[in-house]
Every structure is written in structure tokens, then in C-alpha cells.
Chain A
């Protein structure tokens, strides 16, 4: 007995005595390696932000913060300002979200509450696959299929029905804010819908069943229980979608008409921060113009990072709160 006990007692010690150099160093090496990888990742982000602002340096020092609101973009006189593009970015992204947010919430509700079990998975997958379509293909579809439709059908219809509103005044054009808004909507719906769906799944079933038991219709249950409960998360999801819409360059530049201008009408061509950088960065003629384009990119970076960080904070906080309390169906 004592022999086996002592053997048992000695076993861990014996094992450690047999540990070679590889074993002893292996832990340190792996931990070190992984730590290095994480450090590299963090360094990358810092370097990225630094480099973009560094390239914008000449324009930053020349125009300062007034650049953000200035409406000049004149390569001939070497004066630049981001005003037209901030407007284009703001209008296109917010309008896209105005359409995408309710649509996505409706889709998320359909997937969590209404859809029969059998079609739930396939439809969820299909909606998420919409996000997988490369933006250049969506832009191609936009130029060849959507733009003529907008020019020949949609805008004339909007004009004749709602032409008294300045938004829909002006004459139809295949390229402009409207096709850009539609394409941005198509791109943001899958993101907002899938995050909203996950948020809705965390609503505790007891709350939902309680409302239904009290005689609420399903819509009343959604309105009085689910939406208020999930509201922070939904807001986060929408802001996430906003971040995506802000940063889209390729699909937007293909259909927006690449024109630095501000009009009341949504039919008119315009330009966004991302789209202007994409179309001009390679062909800028003066160093100040190159730097101003980098300044546009820096503004875009700040906006997108703010939206993203805000969204993550809100969604993270709400899912932790919701998930921790009386776990819902997953």
C-alpha cells in the first residue's frame, strides 16, 4: 500500500522531473507567441489610424476643422472641403436606415415569432446570404438593372405622386441618391436583421407568454413586451447597420453620379466620403488634393469607428443584461 501510495505521490513529481526543455519552454513560447499576435493586432489598428491621419496632415494643417463643413472642392484653385460629401454620406446612410430599420425589425420578428419551424432556418440563411453578395456585384446590378428602373419607373412615379415635396422634385436620373439609398438598404438589412433576431431571441419566454396569456394579440405582445425589452439592442443593431452604410464605397460610387453638390432633390447626383475617395484618390492632381482625400478618409474612419464602437457597447451591454436574466430561448 505504501509503495503504491508513494508511487502515486511520486508520480506527479516523477512526471515533472521528466519534463524536457521543450515542455518547460513550450508554455512560455506559446503564451508569448499568442501575446505577440494580439500585440501585433493592436499595433495594426493604431498604425492604421495614425497613417491615415498622417496622410491627411497637409490638408489638416491647411484647412483645419473648417474643412468638414466647407463646400468647396476645387482642384483648379487648390481649395477643398468635405461639406458636399458629409452631406451625401449623411443623407444616403440615414435614408437607407430609415427604410432598412423597420424592414429588418419586421424580418427579425417574422423569423423569431411568426415563421413555422421548417422555413425558419432556410429563410434565416437566405437573409444572411444577402450580406454575402460582394458589393461590386451589387453595384454592377445597380448600374445595369436598378439605374434604368429608377430612371424610367421609380423616379417618374415618385415625381408624379409626391413631386410637390422638394425631395422628389427635379427630373429623373439613373444615377443619384435614390439608387445609392436603395443599394445601401439592401446591404444593411441583413446585418440589422440578424443582430435584431439574436436580440429578440433573448427576450424571456415567460414575459412573452404572460402577455399572450393575458389575451394580447401577438402584435400587442411584440409592441408591449418585446420591443421595449429589446430596444437598446435594436438601437445598437441599427447603429451597426449605420456603420456599414457609412463605409460603403464601391457599390455607392457606381450608382451615385460622382458629383460634389448638394440639392434638395433625392433624384440629383451626389457623392459620399467613401465614394469620392474611391473615385479620385488615384488620380488627384496636386499633393494638397491627395492629402484632402486622405482627410476625407480620416473623417470617414472617425464616423465609422464611432458608430461601430457605440453599437458594440450598446448591443454588448444589452445582451449581457438580457442574456443574464432569466435566459430566453436561444
Chain B
């Protein structure tokens, strides 16, 4: 009896000490010794760039930035609820969202693109597609890869008869916004039936969470086609489609074609909302589904003194980490507008 009791007590003590050891160490400093922290959440499109920023900014300014890649919709929701210090979204805030979020500003802090990636065994990379065709694919009207519409655009390519599985984002996504914004502009039927937004009622297809999730779905489904941020296409070496732009060209998505799309901008509106999908004919080399991505920040923030330097760094020095992930540098007039907006942030 004594032995069992001792045994029980000993086991208890061991368990308690293990748990205590795990839980000890002072709560005030994290392992990097950083004094300040910033917590942000949102866009998975900008997440690769933020993950480069985190260690670099920590080294430079001793500020630990925590970022949760939960999707642009999540970024808007979290900053509206002020559960984070900054939100990140590829979709600009709508008027009602601005009202809900109460006194926030959006700051375009990176420039990238949403790429149409696909997984089709037996077909080459860089198949040519058009905007209206994309609309029909995601509407469920074109269901097979060897459909005449696709074959016509890709002469000389033998397309297998595989069924098309369109993948969409199941969470609130800035990439969804970029694509549906584009599709609403070039297809009146899409605009009427489905519309644009970070979440829309896709009639067919499989849903996946986050850009990673779309990537995962694409790589595991033969015949799948999805829209995914450019950094993920690069990292996973997916096949991607060339989309016909207004000038009739098929630019390869990358820094030159993204910058060309942004060059069409002449002014920045006061709310900083920039839409560069479906660039005009005057931009012959522009990739049609390019998109800015925004940091969404409260005008009055208790973390203003940490937040402002971080934002300023992000739009200047931070941009140097972009090109290897296919983020194009911000155009100068955007940087100037951002600077003015950042100044308005106070505590």
C-alpha cells in the first residue's frame, strides 16, 4: 500500500515538474530578446513577404512581428475587432467595411499578382486562356480541358480529355477579390450572377483554405485549375496559364508585367484604393490580374510608435526582399501617398 501510494505521488510529482518546467521562464521576454511586439493577421498573398520581413525587421529594430496568414477576409475582420495591431488584405475595404472598422486607413504596401495555376498531366506549362474563358470555367460551363474554346487558343497542343476541377478559396480571400474583380469587369454575366468580393458563391468546384490550401488542392488533383498568389506558384513550381490582356498579348506573370500594370496608375485616391486588374490597351505588357495588397491600420493605435516605423520600413527598405518572391517594387507615387497616410496615424 505504501509503495503504491509513493508511486502515485512520485508520478504526480514528475508530471507536475515536467509541466512546470515547460511553463517556467519569465513571461516578459521572448527568446529573441525583443522588447516590442506587433501582431498582425490577414492576407496569405503577402504572407511570404512578411515572413522575410519578420527576421530582418527584428534584427534592425528589435521588434518581433507576429503574423497570422488567415486570409484577407480574416485580416479585415480581426482589425475591425481590434484583436490585432494591423490587418493585411489584398482587397480594399468597401464603404461599409470602413464604417464597421471605425477609423482605419489602408496602406498599399506590396504589389504582386494572382496567377492562374493548373495541374494537368500530359499538358505543357503556360497554356493560353482568356478572361471570359476563365469566367466560364469557374461558372462550370467549360468542363473539360480539351474543350474547343481552350483548344482554339492553344493550337498545336494536344489537350487531354480530363475533367476540369476549378479550385476556389473557402476563406475570405484577397485573391478571390482580385480574380472576381477582374472577371466582373470582363464578363457582364459573371458580374450579374456572382459578383466580386473576398468570398463569392462559386457555383462549382472545390474549396480550399488559404493560398497554401489551394496549392495543396492543385497538386493533389489532376485536371485542377486554381487562382493563387504568385509567390506560391514560384515556390511550388506549378504550371500556370497566360491570360490574354486588353492589348491582346499574353504576358508572363512576373515583375515586368506586374509593374507594367501598375504603371497605368496616374493618381492615388484619398482612400488609397487601387485597382489594377484588367489594365487598358495602353498597357500592352501588363498582366491582367495584378493586385496591390494593403496594410489596414487604425488611425488611433496604442502601438502607433512601433507601427509607424514598421510601415515606413516596409514600403521602403522592406521592398528589397520582394523581387525574389515576384513582388514588384511599389511605384513612387504610391510610396508618396503611403507616407502621407502613415503620418496621419497617431495615438
Direct contact, A vs B (beta carbon within 8 Å): yes
Residues on A close to B: CB < 8 A? 72-77, 143, 147-148, 151, 171, 173-176, 253, 257-261, 269, 271, 279-280, 282-287, 290
Categorize the interface residue count of chain B: 35 or more
Could you tell me if A280 and B198 are in contact, using CB atoms closer than 8 angstroms?
A: no
A/B interface sample: 16 pairs, CB < 8 A: A76-B195, A76-B196, A76-B199, A143-B216, A175-B206, A175-B221, A253-B209, A258-B206, A259-B202, A269-B207, A271-B207, A282-B70, A283-B172, A284-B73, A285-B76, A285-B199
Could you tell me if A257 and B74 are in contact, using CB atoms closer than 8 angstroms?
A: no
Could you tell me if A173 and B199 are in contact, using CB atoms closer than 8 angstroms?
A: no
The residues of A that contact B209 with a CB separation of less than 8 Å are 253, 258, 279
Complex CA–CA separation, A240 to B197 (angstroms):
41
Taking CB atoms and an 8 Å cut-off, the chain B residues in 188-229 that contact chain A are 194-202, 204-209, 216-217, 220-221
Does B163 belong to the interface (CB within 8 Å)? yes
Could you tell me if B221 and A73 are in contact, using CB atoms closer than 8 angstroms?
A: no
Interface membership of chain B positions 95-113, coded 1 if the CB is closer than 8 angstroms to chain A and 0 otherwise: 0110010000000000000
Residues on B close to A: CB < 8 A? 70-74, 76-78, 96-97, 100, 163, 165, 170-173, 194-202, 204-209, 216-217, 220-221
Could you tell me if B199 and A147 are in contact, using CB atoms closer than 8 angstroms?
A: no
Complex CA–CA separation, A73 to B197 (angstroms):
13
B304 to chain A, nearest CB (A): 25
Complex CA–CA separation, A133 to B73 (angstroms):
32
The residues of B that contact A258 with a CB separation of less than 8 Å are 170, 206-209
Return the contact of B170 from the options A76, A176, A279, A287 (Cβ within 8 A). A279
Could you tell me if A269 and B172 are in contact, using CB atoms closer than 8 angstroms?
A: no
The residues of A that contact B200 with a CB separation of less than 8 Å are 74-76
Q: Which of B170, B194, B208, B209 has the most C-beta atoms of chain A within 10 angstroms of its own C-beta?
A: B170
Return the contact of A76 from the options B72, B96, B197, B208 (Cβ within 8 A). B197
Return the contact of A151 from the options B76, B208, B220 (Cβ within 8 A). B220
Given contacts A75-B200, A151-B220, A175-B217, contact A283 B73 (CB under 8 A): yes
Return the contact of B201 from the options A76, A147, A279, A287 (Cβ within 8 A). A76
Return the contact of A173 from the options B76, B194, B195, B221 (Cβ within 8 A). B221
Smallest CB gap from A257: residue in B: B206
Complex CA–CA separation, A261 to B205 (angstroms):
10
Smallest CB gap from A175: residue in B: B206
The residues of A that contact B163 with a CB separation of less than 8 Å are 171
Smallest CB gap from A176: residue in B: B206
Complex CA–CA separation, A176 to B202 (angstroms):
16
Complex CA–CA separation, A261 to B196 (angstroms):
19
Could you tell me if B171 and A279 are in contact, using CB atoms closer than 8 angstroms?
A: yes
Smallest CB gap from B220: residue in A: A174
Given contacts A76-B197, A174-B221, A285-B197, contact A280 B171 (CB under 8 A): yes
Complex CA–CA separation, A151 to B216 (angstroms):
14
Smallest CB gap from A79: residue in B: B201
B206 to chain A, nearest CB (A): 4
Smallest CB gap from B168: residue in A: A259
The residues of A that contact B221 with a CB separation of less than 8 Å are 151, 173-175
Known: A143-B216, A280-B170, A283-B74. 4 other contacts (CB 8 A): A75-B201, A76-B195, A261-B204, A286-B96
The residues of A that contact B71 with a CB separation of less than 8 Å are 282-283
A131 to chain B, nearest CB (A): 22
The residues of A that contact B220 with a CB separation of less than 8 Å are 143, 147-148, 151, 174
Smallest CB gap from B177: residue in A: A285
Complex CA–CA separation, A258 to B205 (angstroms):
10
The residues of A that contact B207 with a CB separation of less than 8 Å are 257-259, 269, 271, 279
Given contacts A173-B206, A173-B221, contact A285 B170 (CB under 8 A): no
The residues of B that contact A290 with a CB separation of less than 8 Å are 77
B293 to chain A, nearest CB (A): 15
Smallest CB gap from B180: residue in A: A76
Given contacts A283-B172, A287-B100, A290-B77, contact A259 B205 (CB under 8 A): yes
Could you tell me if A285 and B206 are in contact, using CB atoms closer than 8 angstroms?
A: no
Smallest CB gap from B73: residue in A: A283
Given contacts A257-B207, A280-B171, contact A285 B198 (CB under 8 A): yes
Complex CA–CA separation, A279 to B220 (angstroms):
20
Complex CA–CA separation, A271 to B206 (angstroms):
10
The residues of A that contact B198 with a CB separation of less than 8 Å are 75, 283, 285
The residues of A that contact B77 with a CB separation of less than 8 Å are 282-285, 290
Q: Which of A72, A260, A269 has the most C-beta atoms of chain B within 10 angstroms of its own C-beta?
A: A269
Smallest CB gap from B100: residue in A: A287
B129 to chain A, nearest CB (A): 21
The residues of A that contact B78 with a CB separation of less than 8 Å are 282
B160 to chain A, nearest CB (A): 14
Smallest CB gap from B71: residue in A: A283
B264 to chain A, nearest CB (A): 27
Complex CA–CA separation, A50 to B336 (angstroms):
50
The residues of A that contact B76 with a CB separation of less than 8 Å are 285
Could you tell me if A75 and B206 are in contact, using CB atoms closer than 8 angstroms?
A: no
Could you tell me if B208 and A75 are in contact, using CB atoms closer than 8 angstroms?
A: no
The residues of A that contact B206 with a CB separation of less than 8 Å are 173, 175-176, 257-259, 269
